[in-house]
A and B are shown apart, each in its own frame.
Chain A
Amino acid sequence: MFKYFPHTKADVDSMLKTLNIKSIDELYKDIPETVVFNKDYDIPSFMSETELRSHFADLSKKNQELTLFSGLGIYDHYQPAVINAITSRQEFMTSYTPYQPEISQGTLQYIFEYQSMIQTLTGMDVSNASMYDGATSTAEACFMACAVTKRNKILISETLNPNIVNVIKTYLKFKDLTWDFIAEKNGETDFADLENKLDDSIAGVVVQKTNIYGIIEDYQGYSETIKANKSLFIINSDISTLGVLKSPKEDGADIASGECQSLGMPPAFGGPTLGYLATDKAYVRKMPGRICGYTHDLEGRRAFVLTLQAREQHIRRSKANSNICSNQSLMALFVTVYLSLMGKNGLVKVNELSYQGSHYLYDRLLETGKFKDRFNKPFLKEFTLETSIAPETIQTALLQKGIFGGVSLDVFGEKYSGLINFTVTEKRTKKEIDQLVEILEALS
């Protein structure tokens, strides 16, 4: 017997008798002999719960929890204890997609509240119920732009995080769509180059608000220019920063996409996280993913239900806007709970504290004389400095003290050689920051 299999021998015998067969094997009789798998799987023997715990304890020892001064897409922000208490409730965690609204109002309501929160942070008219991550969400935003404008080319700023760029390229390439890059000028998107490259083949333009260098880009003039070209303006942002930064709507974006990991999710070795996607009502029918709408039941009670399903794969099949089915639903609950606890003031405070810590670190690092700022542009929690100290030297020294930071951007390619990233969130204490500076100060 096994704890997940309730069937006793008596149960099985009884069921076999009902089916008029001698063994379960008879149910598989039509499977061609040549493909029947008669062996044992070459995988470990079953582990009891104690053995499993012990195994994971061993694995844990091979990992190191570090003090994170790193960002580049995944951030170490405060995760309120309440989040886990709510998201681990089986009603939320084990339930299926809310296709039967009568018994899914829990899920549907948090999706609606999530959509509302993304709506207000981005300023756009409507958010969907989530996408896989910020990168794939932005790739799908590019598809939307092509579908709306009926054009085939996307302009991508060179200042985007290369992980995002590479995902967009893969998606565009296989759908036989093309792209070109907008040059970088002193750490920001080069507006003149954008103007130069806009023509009637361009479906959309993608930029990243706090870019690969952590620089907050200024998009004055972008929206009018892009609109005049009848292209769509797509702004990718870390959603947490929209608590204080100009929203994509205020910047004149047509589509807002990006990462929600900063809102109460652990770094989790990169996943699961959540990509948001929001747009104007005019484009809602071209938007992928599920959407929850407000309605009533037949007794007039307030109710929530998945709507506009005719855009989706299970109805539209090959004509669907996208193939997305499962999304990151439970992670949307993380976002909803986080923002319910933080509220607008808490979110502003998180950004304030991060800003203060990062700017304090920035000043102290420059004081050491070992780091320079190539760009001198505004930043929030993340910034990039130039140094001649070898990246491995920095990593080794920091690792010895259990710190991960000063990540060399050359992990993304040669062009970023000599540039290193520092990220400070509200979790980093003055003591930790001072210690980081002390270690780096001693290096050469």
Chain B
Amino acid sequence: MINYRKMIFELSNSERIGYSLPKSKFNEYKIKDLNSTLLRETELLLPEVSELDVLRHFTNISIKNFGVENGFYPLGSCTMKYNPKINEEMANNSAFKSLHPLQPIGTVQGALEVYYNLQKYLSEISGLAEFSLNPYAGAHGELVGLMIIKAYHEGRGDFKRKKIIIPDSAHGTNPASTVVCGMDVIEIKSNKEGRVDLETLKSVLSDEVAGMMLTNPNTLGIFENDICEITKLVHEAGGLMYYDGANLNALLGKVRPGDMGFDVMHINLHKTFSTPHGGGGPGSGPVGVTEELVKYLPNPRIKKFDDQFYIENSGDAIGRISSFYGNYLVSLRAYAYILTLGKENLSKVGPFSTLNANYVSKALKTTYDLPIDGYCMHEVVFNGLINKDNDVKTLDIAKRLLDFGMHAPTIYFPLLFPQAIMIEPTETESKETIDEFINIMHKIAIEAKENPGKLKAAPTKTPIRRTDEVFAAKMMIFSYKDYLDYVNKRG
């Protein structure tokens, strides 16, 4: 029921249970025999609910969500493509799910084969030597990649190189990861076509530059045509090139990051390789490197000798960045996806997604402000409406789209355009769906002109309307306990 508003704690009744556990066999042992200084004294505020009520609760809150199977999800840079069900079936196989990561390697050869093969396929797809599947997310992969770059320079005895060049169009994780890795950011302004300006780049290159982070196509969905010149300049200045794989979907079948001159990269398996977003995770951010950098890949590594897979920890590695082998079952899903598509279909992902985005671009540029003309890749960025009369902002357009049963595109990113709307249709959308989206966007543009109030008030057809974010930030109610305190104070 869309009006369901209870929290699980509000269903609690201390007589109820939702579990069944085996009977106690060894009653002579009791936890309260332990020294009381070790035992908890504070009551636990956990709910007691019967099984069916737990199911109803979560089912009822789930229907207030919007998943890929509900409708169009054109979030730019997120690649919200279909998450295949067969991958779920494979990931639920108990022959993989039940494995303990420390089991003797003779008992996990199948699991290690998946890991090893996936990293090989990713190497082939990206044109790099080897991958580690250990990083848990894209941002984690960025951090690992930057650690590798830093380790590489220090390994050559060069301790001056502490700066990373990042375009102003970059995703926030790029500069954030740089700082977490103990390096400084040199931000360079994009030119008016939204691309890296070669003269600007030259002006910041020095012997203090460790490398450059680039997304290609960039966050505007535009291919950096000068990429070979860019990588050449950075290499000549002694730096390494890092590829942010967030936009890899555009390139499948067409270009490989390694061939463009990149030395290190991460891939977002939850974007390009169809693993589910999970409401914000778990994702996976495998890191790939050139031959020269392989020794720095994080521990543990999965290797193959004869026909046996084994696990290795190396002293040259940057170290450990995960407890074990990363989000393993996420990697497994990506593996299943690559096998399902095969070389024949994987190479069509780039072309179909790029076709879709350009189709949207052409259709909408009559009413939406397209700041950079020309072909885009798999996503297109508009800067709000052409007609800026009624002070209708990108936020209002996004919220109104929700009323039409579609998820909003990415908004206010990249920062280059103040009313940015980033649309990525992905290759799994039909022409009918895309046409419907285009029609709705045109409709909204008309509403913006004739009835802007409707957009300002949107959404009205969703489970809730716009939220009071100031209240949330100021009241800081982060738990049920906080909520009870708030209710008590409020009276």
Name the interface residues of B38-59: CB closer than 8 Å to any CB of A: 38-49, 51, 54-55, 57-59
Whether B104 lies near A266 (C-beta < 8 A) is: no
Compute how far the CA of A353 lies from the CA of B277 in the bound complex, rounded to whole angstroms: 36
Whether B24 lies near A404 (C-beta < 8 A) is: no
Name the interface residues of A3-22: CB closer than 8 Å to any CB of B: 4-7, 11-12, 14-16, 18-19
For the complex, is A242 an interface residue (Cβ under 8 Å from B)? yes
Name the interface residues of B238-259: CB closer than 8 Å to any CB of A: 253-256, 259
Name the interface residues of A71-90: CB closer than 8 Å to any CB of B: 72-74, 76, 78, 80, 82, 84-86, 88-90
B341 in complex: contacting residue of A2, A73, A378, CB < 8 Å:
A2
In the assembled complex, the CB of A443 is this many whole angstroms from the nearest CB of chain B, namely 17
In the assembled complex, the CB of B214 is this many whole angstroms from the nearest CB of chain A, namely 14
Q: Note all chain B residues with C-beta closer than 8 A to A95.
A: 65-68, 277-279
Whether B322 lies near A167 (C-beta < 8 A) is: yes
Question: How would residues 265 to 298 of chain B score, 1 for a CB under 8 Å from any chain A CB and 0 otherwise?
Answer: 0000010000011111111000000000000001
For the complex, is A422 an interface residue (Cβ under 8 Å from B)? no
A5 in complex: contacting residue of B38, B352, B413, CB < 8 Å:
B352
A102 in complex: contacting residue of B42, B142, B462, CB < 8 Å:
B462
For the complex, is A416 an interface residue (Cβ under 8 Å from B)? no
Whether B107 lies near A301 (C-beta < 8 A) is: no
Max chain B C-beta neighbours (<10 A), residue from A120, A123, A429: A120
Tell me whether A43 and B343 are in contact in the complex, defined as CB-CB below 8 angstroms, given that A100-B402, A216-B38 are known contacts. yes
Tell me whether A298 and B483 are in contact in the complex, defined as CB-CB below 8 angstroms, given that A5-B348, A31-B225, A43-B343 are known contacts. no
Compute how far the CA of A111 lies from the CA of B278 in the bound complex, rounded to whole angstroms: 12
Whether B277 lies near A127 (C-beta < 8 A) is: no
Whether B181 lies near A175 (C-beta < 8 A) is: yes
Whether A247 lies near B40 (C-beta < 8 A) is: yes
For the complex, is B393 an interface residue (Cβ under 8 Å from A)? no
Whether A270 lies near B101 (C-beta < 8 A) is: yes
Of all chain B residues, which has the CB nearest A59?
A: B110
For the complex, is A414 an interface residue (Cβ under 8 Å from B)? no
Whether B343 lies near A44 (C-beta < 8 A) is: yes
A167 in complex: contacting residue of B25, B26, B94, B321, CB < 8 Å:
B321
Of all chain B residues, which has the CB nearest A426?
A: B21
A30 in complex: contacting residue of B24, B102, B223, B363, CB < 8 Å:
B223
Q: Note all chain B residues with C-beta closer than 8 A to A246.
A: 37-41
Whether A65 lies near B463 (C-beta < 8 A) is: no
Whether A92 lies near B62 (C-beta < 8 A) is: yes
**Interface residue stretch chosen among A190-198, A200-208, A302-310, A366-374:** A302-310
A352 in complex: contacting residue of B24, B37, B280, CB < 8 Å:
B24
Q: Note all chain B residues with C-beta closer than 8 A to A98.
A: 279-280
Name the interface residues of B333-381: CB closer than 8 Å to any CB of A: 336, 338-348, 351-352, 354-356, 358-359, 362-363, 374-375, 377
Whether B102 lies near A378 (C-beta < 8 A) is: no
Q: Note all chain B residues with C-beta closer than 8 A to A117.
A: 46
In the assembled complex, the CB of A65 is this many whole angstroms from the nearest CB of chain B, namely 5
Q: Note all chain A residues with C-beta closer than 8 A to B282.
A: 132, 271-272, 326-331
Whether A326 lies near B138 (C-beta < 8 A) is: yes
- Please tell me the number of chain A residues within 8 Å of chain B, measured between CB atoms: 201
Q: Note all chain A residues with C-beta closer than 8 A to B280.
A: 96-98, 107, 129, 290, 326-327, 329-330
Whether B469 lies near A307 (C-beta < 8 A) is: yes
Of all chain B residues, which has the CB nearest A123?
A: B42
Compute how far the CA of A167 lies from the CA of B321 in the bound complex, rounded to whole angstroms: 5
A120 in complex: contacting residue of B45, B136, B355, CB < 8 Å:
B45
For the complex, is B109 an interface residue (Cβ under 8 Å from A)? yes
Tell me whether A47 and B342 are in contact in the complex, defined as CB-CB below 8 angstroms, given that A86-B55, A164-B323 are known contacts. yes
In the assembled complex, the CB of B197 is this many whole angstroms from the nearest CB of chain A, namely 17
Tell me whether A46 and B342 are in contact in the complex, defined as CB-CB below 8 angstroms, given that A102-B399, A343-B47 are known contacts. yes
Of all chain B residues, which has the CB nearest A114?
A: B479
Max chain A C-beta neighbours (<10 A), residue from B41, B270, B280, B363: B280
Whether A96 lies near B407 (C-beta < 8 A) is: yes
Q: Note all chain B residues with C-beta closer than 8 A to A97.
A: 277, 279-280
Whether A329 lies near B323 (C-beta < 8 A) is: no
Interface size for chain B: under 10, 10 to 19, 20 to 34, or 35 or more residues? Answer: 35 or more
In the assembled complex, the CB of B104 is this many whole angstroms from the nearest CB of chain A, namely 6
Q: Note all chain B residues with C-beta closer than 8 A to A329.
A: 278-282
Q: Note all chain B residues with C-beta closer than 8 A to A36.
A: 254-255
Name the interface residues of B104-136: CB closer than 8 Å to any CB of A: 104, 106-111, 113-114, 121, 124-125, 127, 136
A272 in complex: contacting residue of B47, B70, B330, B340, CB < 8 Å:
B330
For the complex, is B431 an interface residue (Cβ under 8 Å from A)? yes
Name the interface residues of A252-287: CB closer than 8 Å to any CB of B: 259, 266-273, 281, 284
For the complex, is B212 an interface residue (Cβ under 8 Å from A)? no
Compute how far the CA of A106 lies from the CA of B147 in the bound complex, rounded to whole angstroms: 37
Whether B340 lies near A52 (C-beta < 8 A) is: yes
For the complex, is B179 an interface residue (Cβ under 8 Å from A)? yes
Whether A103 lies near B363 (C-beta < 8 A) is: no
Question: How would residues 29 to 60 of chain A score, 1 for a CB under 8 Å from any chain B CB and 0 otherwise?
Answer: 11110111100111111110100110110111
Whether A116 lies near B9 (C-beta < 8 A) is: yes
In the assembled complex, the CB of B289 is this many whole angstroms from the nearest CB of chain A, namely 16
Tell me whether A113 and B322 are in contact in the complex, defined as CB-CB below 8 angstroms, given that A37-B256, A90-B69, A267-B99 are known contacts. no
For the complex, is A243 an interface residue (Cβ under 8 Å from B)? yes
Whether A63 lies near B95 (C-beta < 8 A) is: yes
Compute how far the CA of A395 lies from the CA of B70 in the bound complex, rounded to whole angstroms: 49
Of all chain B residues, which has the CB nearest A427?
A: B22
For the complex, is A218 an interface residue (Cβ under 8 Å from B)? yes
Of all chain A residues, which has the CB nearest B271?
A: A326
**Interface residue stretch chosen among A179-187, A225-233, A355-363, A382-390:** A355-363
In the assembled complex, the CB of B152 is this many whole angstroms from the nearest CB of chain A, namely 12
Compute how far the CA of A347 lies from the CA of B170 in the bound complex, rounded to whole angstroms: 45
In the assembled complex, the CB of B106 is this many whole angstroms from the nearest CB of chain A, namely 8
Compute how far the CA of A325 lies from the CA of B171 in the bound complex, rounded to whole angstroms: 10
For the complex, is B92 an interface residue (Cβ under 8 Å from A)? yes
Compute how far the CA of A244 lies from the CA of B111 in the bound complex, rounded to whole angstroms: 35
Compute how far the CA of A250 lies from the CA of B338 in the bound complex, rounded to whole angstroms: 49
For the complex, is A149 an interface residue (Cβ under 8 Å from B)? no
For the complex, is A249 an interface residue (Cβ under 8 Å from B)? yes
Tell me whether A19 and B86 are in contact in the complex, defined as CB-CB below 8 angstroms, given that A96-B80, A119-B479, A341-B51 are known contacts. no
For the complex, is B310 an interface residue (Cβ under 8 Å from A)? no
Of all chain B residues, which has the CB nearest A165?
A: B320
For the complex, is A401 an interface residue (Cβ under 8 Å from B)? no
For the complex, is A322 an interface residue (Cβ under 8 Å from B)? yes
For the complex, is A317 an interface residue (Cβ under 8 Å from B)? yes
Whether A76 lies near B467 (C-beta < 8 A) is: no
Question: How would residues 338 to 357 of chain A score, 1 for a CB under 8 Å from any chain B CB and 0 otherwise?
Answer: 01111111110111110111
Q: Note all chain A residues with C-beta closer than 8 A to B299.
A: 166
In the assembled complex, the CB of B15 is this many whole angstroms from the nearest CB of chain A, namely 10
Of all chain B residues, which has the CB nearest A302?
A: B5
Tell me whether A46 and B138 are in contact in the complex, defined as CB-CB below 8 angstroms, given that A100-B398, A290-B280 are known contacts. no
Question: How would residues 147 to 172 of chain B score, 1 for a CB under 8 Å from any chain A CB and 0 otherwise?
Answer: 10010000000000000000000011
5 sample A-B contacts, Cβ–Cβ < 8 Å, listed by A number: A74-B101, A126-B476, A270-B325, A336-B8, A346-B18
Going nearest first, the 8 A-B pairs with the smallest beta carbon separation are A46-B342, A270-B324, A330-B278, A170-B319, A270-B101, A106-B65, A329-B280, A62-B110
